[in-house]
Amino acid sequence: MPLNASDVMIRDVITVAESTPIKEVARLFNEKKITGAPVVNAEGELVGVLSETDIIRKTNSIGAWSPSTAGQIMTKPAVTVSPTETLQRICELMHNRHIHRVVVADGSKIEGILTTMDILKAIANRKF
């Protein structure tokens, strides 16, 4: 039986408000040992995704930290999948879009997040 997003996703999702300063986001990523997070607006709606790569690219483009916020440098729109999407389809999507994470959502509600590392762990632990 094929695995779905809901079988593998991380349910306790750390989100970042679009108004959060980038330095604070970098501290959060370091503290929580994560490489990215969904970005939400004041109503808690998904508006994008911010990764450590986004932060590094922004820092490199200006040569120093700026007073940027998560909302200013996030990737938008966020790539989302349904909880019932198969891992095979998600892998194809990640490969084709050159991304390392997708947000698992049911409509506008964030259900989880799924990264390439989560998929690798699922494959490594699967009994075939």
pLDDT per residue as tens digits for the range 13-44: 999 999 999 999 999 999 999 999 999 999 99
Cβ atoms 111, 104 nearer than 8 A: yes
Residues 82-127: pLDDT tens digits? Answer: 999 999 999 999 999 999 999 999 887 899 999 999 999 988 987 5
| Segment 89-96 long-range contacts (CB within 8 Å, at least 24 positions apart) | 90/5, 90/114, 90/119, 91/119
- Domain residue ranges in the chain: 5-125
Class in CATH terms, 5-125:
alpha beta
Write down the pTM of the prediction.
0.87
